Amino acid sequence: MSTGQDFTELCKKVINSVLKYGRVGLLVDAVEKNTPYIAVYEPQHITNWRSRFIDGREQLTLLVLREVVNEIKEDGFSIKPVETYRSFHLIDGVVEVHIWRKDEKSDDWMVVESSFPKVRGKALDRIEFTFIGAKTNSSKVDKPPLLDLAHVNLNHWRLSVDYNHGLHFCALPTPWAAGFRNDEGSSFGIGPVEVWMSEDPQASCGFLEFSGAGLASVSQAMKETKEEMAVLGARIIEQTRSQIETAEAARIRQSGESGALAGLANNISAGLTESIHGIARWIGKPDTDAYVKLPTDFNDAKLSPQELTALLQTWQAGAISLDTFLWNLQTGELLSPGRKIEDEKLHIEAEGNKPFSPGEET
- Give 118's pLDDT tier (boundaries 50, 70, 90): confident
What percent of the chain shows pLDDT beyond 70? Answer: 84
| Burial (CB count within 10 angstroms: exposed 0-12, middle 13-18, buried 19+), residue 184 | exposed
- Give the pLDDT score at 272: 94
Residue 176 makes CB contacts below 8 A (sequence gap 6+) with 205, 206, 207, 208
Q: How far apart are CA 130 and CA 274, in angstroms?
A: 7
292 assigned to some structural domain? no
Domain identity same for 70 and 37: yes
Domain extent, residue 163, equals 147-226
Last residue of a domain, one of 172, 206, 226: 226
> Taking 90 as the threshold, does the pLDDT of residue 250 lie above it?
no
Angle 7-21/259-282 helices, nearest 10 degrees? 130
Shared-domain flag, residues 43 and 14: yes
Q: Under DSSP, is residue 53 helix (H, G, I), strand (E, B) or coil?
A: strand
Q: Are residues 85 and 195 in the same domain?
A: no
Q: Would you say residue 30 lies in a domain? A: yes
The per-residue b/e assignment along 64-82, b for 16 or more CB within 10 angstroms, e otherwise, is: bbbeeeeeeeeeeeeeeee
Q: What is the pLDDT of residues 37-93, one digit of tens each?
A: 899 999 999 999 999 888 788 889 999 999 988 888 877 788 888 899 999 999 998
Higher pLDDT, 177 or 232: 177
**Do 120 and 58 share a domain, yes or no?**
yes
Burial class (CB in 10 A: 0-12, 13-18, 19+), 97: middle
Write out pLDDT tens, residues 99-116.
999 887 888 899 999 999
Is 60 exceeded by the pLDDT of residue 255? no
Nearest alpha-carbon partner for 18 in 297, 300, 299, 294: 294
Report how far apart, in Å, the C-alpha atoms of 169 and of each of 157, 173, 208 are: 19, 8, 11
The 10s digit of each residue's pLDDT in 214-227 is 777 778 888 888 77
Where a domain ends, among 76, 106, 133?
133
Q: What is the value of pTM for the model shown?
A: 0.65
Same domain, 19 and 102: yes
Please check whether residues 11 and 129 belong to one and the same domain.
yes
CB under 8 A, 24+ apart: contacts of 221-227: 221/159, 222/156, 222/159, 222/160, 222/163, 225/152, 225/155, 225/156, 225/159, 226/156
pLDDT given for residue 1 in this prediction? 52
Residue 121's pLDDT is what?
Answer: 80
Mean of pLDDT over the chain: 81
Q: How far apart are CA 204 and CA 176, in angstroms?
A: 9
Whether residues 118 and 38 fall in one domain = yes
* Residue 353 confidence class, pLDDT cut points 50, 70, 90: low
Mean pLDDT lowest for which of 17-21, 231-235, 350-354? 231-235
Q: Which of 175-184, 269-278, 308-317, 342-351 has the highest mean pLDDT?
A: 269-278
Q: Which of 133, 158, 182 is the last residue of a domain?
A: 133
Which position has the higher pLDDT, 232 or 7?
A: 7
Q: Flag whether 362 is in a domain.
A: no
More confident residue, 231 or 42: 42
Q: Is residue 361 part of a domain?
A: no
Chain Cα centroid distance, residue 329: 30
Asked if residue 43 is part of any domain, the answer here is: yes
∠ CA 84-86-91 to the nearest 5 degrees?
155
Q: What is the pLDDT of residue 43?
A: 93
Q: List own/partner pairs for 175-183 with CB under 8 A and 24 or more apart.
A: 175/205, 175/206, 175/207, 175/208, 176/205, 176/206, 176/207, 176/208, 177/203, 177/204, 177/205, 178/202, 178/203, 178/204, 178/205, 179/203, 179/204, 180/205
Q: Decide if 165 is inside a domain.
A: yes
Same domain? For 179 and 206 the reply is yes
**∠ Cα 20 24 28 (to 5°):** 150
Number of domains in the chain: 3
Dist CA 325 CA 308 (whole Å): 10
- Say if 282 falls within a structural domain: no
Based on the fold, state whether residues 14 and 123 are members of the same structural domain. Answer: yes
Are 34 and 69 members of one domain? yes
Residue 297: pLDDT band (50, 70, 90) is: low
Per-residue pLDDT, averaged over 232-247, amounts to: 46
Q: Are 128 and 12 members of one domain? A: yes
262 in a structural domain: no
Q: Residue 126 CB: number of other CB atoms within 10 A?
A: 19
| pLDDT the model gives residue 239 | 38
- Residue 212's pLDDT band (boundaries 50, 70, 90)? low
Distance CA 34, CA 117 (A): 10
Q: Is there a single domain that holds both residue 37 and residue 106?
A: yes
The string of DSSP codes covering 292-315 is ---------PPPPHHHHHHHHHHH
260 or 226: which leads in pLDDT? 226
